[in-house]
Structure 1
Amino acid sequence: MHGSEVFNITTPMQQFGFAIILFFPILAFITCCLRIYGRLSGKQLGMDDLLVCVAMAMSIGETSATYMFMKTNFIGIHITDVPAPGTYPGTPGLIWNFAVQVLYNPILALVKTSVLIFLLRLGGQKPGVRYAIHALNIFNIALMVAIFLVVIFQCTPIAYNWDPTIAGAHCIEQGKFYVVTAALTIFTDVLVLALPIWIFADLKMKLKMKIALICVFLLGFIVTIVGIVRLVFIYQAFFRPPGADPTYTLGFCTSAIETNLAIITASAPALRPLFRKWFPRLFSSATGGNSGYPDTYGHSGTHRSRITAGRSEPRHSIGPGLALKDLKDKTQYKVRSHSPSASEEEIMTFNGIMRTTAVRVSYADEEMKDPERAKEQRQQAHKEDYGMRTSISGSI
C-alpha cells in the first residue's frame, strides 16, 4: 500500500471508536432539535437555545475532524500493524488533530454560557445569584477566548502544528497547557453545577419536586466525570512513558463524548415541558390537581386570561354570566387558574419567580343588568374558595 491507501487499515476496536463518536453527536442532534421544536412551539426561543445550536454545529465539525484524525493517526490499530513512518503522509493526521483542538473548548464554553443564561431566568430575582451568574459567565467567556487564542498560536509559525519540518519554529509546553486547560474546564463545570442548588434551595415547592429539579440539572455531572477521564488520558500521554501498544486505545474519543454529552444534559431541563405535552401520564404528577386548588372556576379544562396594558382579554367567565372587568395595568401578566407550585414547567418555561398574589375580581356588566342576581352570585362566590396562586411573568 502506498500514500493514502494505508489509512484504509481498520480493526474492530477502531470501528467501535467510530460508533462512539457517531452515536453521541446523533443523540445530541436529536436532543437539540427537540429542544428547539419545544421552544418554538411555546414561542419562547431564547439566546440560550441559539448558543446550543451553535455548539451543535461546531460539534458536528468536531465529529468529522475526530473521525479523520482516528483514520490518519491509526487510532484503534495495534502498533505492530501501523505502517512505518515515511511510508504515508503524516501531515493530514496533524491537521485533523489541530482542528479538534480548535473546536473542543469553544463547544463546552458555549454550552456553559447557555446554561448560565437559562439559570438567569430562574434565579435572576436574587441579587446574589444574578451577580454570581454574571461573574461566572464573564470568567467562562474570557477563559474560552484565552484558550482559543493560545491553541491557535501555540506554535510559531502556526503551520508548525502540522509541518514539523519548518526550521526555527517552536511551540509552548503543550502537555502542561493541555492539563491546565482541562483542569480549568472541570473547575468551571463544578461551579456551574453548584448554581442550581443555590437557586432551587429557596424556591417554594414540594421537597420532592425540588430534589427532582436539582437532579435534572446535575446530569451535567456526567460531563464532568468524562472531563476527568479525559484529563487522566492527557496526563498519561504527555507525562508517562508510552505503553507497549500506544495506538490501540480509544482515549481520544473522550473529547467527542464530553462535548456532545454537554449539549444533551444542558438541553434536558428544556425538554421537560415538551415531554409533559407528549406523555402527560408519565410527566404530569405535579399538575394543579395536586396543589389543593381547583383547576378552573365554573368550567372544566384549563382556562387563561391574558391581561395586557390597559385592557383585558378574558377567555372565560367566572361563573355563569360573570365577566372579568378590565384591569388597568401597564405590565403584562399571565394569570393561571391552577397552582404551579409543583410544576417545573412553570418554573423553567416562564421568565419570573413564583409569587402568591391576591386577585380581586370585579363584576361589571351583570351587575348593571340585574343587580339582585349579581349580588346573589357574589355572595355565593365568597362562600367558595377562590384563592388562587398565580405565576407572574414580568419582563425583568
Structure 2
Amino acid sequence: MTSRPDLTPQFLAYDDGPFIIRMSIAMGLLATLFVGLRVWARTYTRIKHGLDDSIIISAMLFIYGFIVITVYRGGSGKHLAANLMAEPRVFSRAVLYLSVGDILYATSIALLKASILVMYCRIFPLRSMKVGGYSLGVIVLMWWIAVCLLAIFQCRPVRKAWGMSTTEGTCIDKGIWFTSVAVPNIVTDVAILALPVRQVSLLRLSSARKMAVSGIFLLGGFVVIVSCLRLRCLLDLRGGEDGDFTQLVACVWWWSDVEISIGCVSACLPTLRPLARLLVGLFRRHTMSNRITDGLNNVETIGCARSRHPQDMTGNGVESCERLGDEGAPTADLNLRQGHSNEVSTVALGNQDSHLQN
C-alpha cells in the first residue's frame, strides 16, 4: 500500500511504544520493590503475615499481567493511519488489548483497595472503622464486577468487542463506558483516603511521625490525581476508529501503569516502619561513630606541640602546648621512660609554666 501524500515520514515514524515499555517495566519494578520490602519487614519483625499481605501479593500477579498487556499493546503509541498501512486489523487488536487490560486493571485496583481496607480494620479495630471498611469493600467489589461485565459484554454480538468479528453490531458508547468505570474508582479512592483521617488525628504522634503519615496521605492524593488524568485520556478515545485511537491510547496505558504502581506503594508504606527504624538507627550509629572519632582526634591534640613561634612584634606570646622532658627540653614521645619512679609533667601555655610534681 502506498502512503498518502499528507502522511510525512515524521508522522509515519512517530512511535511512543518504546516509552510505554520502559514506563511499564519501571513501574512494575517499583511495585515489586515495595511489596518485597513489605514482606521483609513482616519477616524481620516476626509479625505474622496477615490477610492484607496475602491480598497485595495476589494483586501483584494481576499487575504483572497488566504490564504484559501493556508491552504487547497492539500498535499503541503510533498513529492509527501508520498502523493501518502496515496491518489493517490493528484497530481491532488494540481494542482487544484495551478490553483485557481493563479487566486486569480493575482487578489490580480492587485488590489493592481491599488490602488497604483490611489493613485499616487491623490497625484500628473500632466498630466505626469496620463499618466503613466493609461498606467501601462492598462498593469496590460491585465496581469490579461492573467493570468486568462492561468489558466483556460492551458490544452485541460479544465477539465484536473482542476484535474477533467484523460483522455489524452495536456497542456501548465509549464515553459512557469510560466515565462509568473511572468516576466510581476516583470516588472510592477519595473515600478510602479519608476513612482513617479522624482516627489518625486523635493519635499523639511526634513531629517526625506526623510528617510520615502526611507523606502517606499526600501519596494517596497523588493517586487520585493520576486517576483523573487517566479519565481525561480515556475520554479522548471516544472517536474510535475515526480518531487517532492507537496513538491516543498510549496515554491510557502509561497513566494506568503509574496509578497501579503508586497505589501499590501507598498500600505498602504504612507497613514499612521497621525499615524506617532500622535506617534511622544505622544513620544515628554512623553519626555517633563520626562524632566519637572526631572527639578522639581532638583529644590526641591535647599536650601535643602545635607550633613554636617567637613572640610577635607586640610582645604577646604565641600560644603553644608541649610536653617537656625532665631537663626542660621538648620531647616528641609522650610515654614515660622505663625506670623512672617519679614523673614530672610540665605544660607550657604561652609564657606561663606550671609544674606538677607526683
Q: Is the 8 A contact 1:76 1:247 kept in 2?
A: yes
Counterpart residue identity of residue 50, structure 1: S
Equivalent residue for 1:292?
Answer: none
Q: Is the 8 A contact 2:83 2:90 kept in 1?
A: no
Higher-helix-fraction structure: 2
Verify: 1:273 aligned to 2:244, yes or no: no
Equivalent residue for 1:57?
Answer: 61
Q: Is the 8 A contact 2:28 2:63 kept in 1?
A: yes
Verify: 1:186 aligned to 2:167, yes or no: no
TM-score normalised per structure 2: 0.68
- Percent identity, aligned pairs only, is 25
- Map 1:50-199 → 2, pairs under 5 A: 50-69=54-73, 72-73=74-75, 75-78=76-79, 81-84=82-85, 87=88, 91-125=92-126, 127-163=127-163, 165-167=165-167, 169-199=169-199
Question: Which runs of 5 or more structure 1 residues have no equivalent in the other structure?
Answer: 2-8, 285-396
- Map 1:174-253 → 2, pairs under 5 A: 174-206=174-206, 209-238=209-238, 247=247, 250-252=250-252, 253=254
Match of 2:23 among 20, 23, 32: 20
Counterpart residue identity of residue 192, structure 1: I
1:61-89: CA deviation from partner (whole Å, max 9, x where unpaired): 001011111xx22x222456434275456
TM-score normalised per structure 1: 0.62
CA distance in 2 between partners of 1:240 and 1:171 (Å):
11
47-56 vs 78-87, greater mean Cα deviation:
78-87
Q: Is the 8 A contact 2:59 2:112 kept in 1?
A: yes
Q: Is the 8 A contact 1:51 1:111 kept in 2?
A: yes
Equivalent residue of 1:177, what SS?
A: helix
1:225-284: CA deviation from partner (whole Å, max 9, x where unpaired): 111101111122217997789727731221122112111121111122123224424599
Verify: 1:261 aligned to 2:265, yes or no: no
CA distance in 1 between partners of 2:31 and 2:101 (Å):
18
Query: How many residues are treated as equivalent by the alignment?
Result: 273
Quickly say closer, same or farther: Cα 1:274–1:236, change in 2 above 3 A.
same
Equivalent residue for 1:47?
Answer: 51
1:261-319: CA deviation from partner (whole Å, max 9, x where unpaired): 111121111122123224424599xxxxxxxxxxxxxxxxxxxxxxxxxxxxxxxxxxx
Quickly say closer, same or farther: Cα 1:161–1:68, change in 2 above 3 A.
same
Quickly say closer, same or farther: Cα 1:132–1:208, change in 2 above 3 A.
same
Counterpart residue identity of residue 24, structure 2: I
Following TM superposition, where does structure 1 have runs of at least 4 consecutive aligned residues deviating by more than 6 angstroms? 239-246
Q: Is the 8 A contact 1:217 1:266 kept in 2?
A: no
CA displacement at 1:148 relative to structure 2: 1.9
CA distance in 1 between partners of 2:79 and 2:174 (Å):
26
CA distance in 1 between partners of 2:95 and 2:284 (Å):
48
Q: Is the 8 A contact 2:174 2:237 kept in 1?
A: no
CA displacement at 1:22 relative to structure 2: 1.1
RMSD: 3.0
Equivalent residue for 2:309?
Answer: none
Q: Which has the larger radius of gyration?
A: 2
Question: Which runs of 5 or more structure 2 residues have no equivalent in the other structure?
Answer: 2-11, 286-358
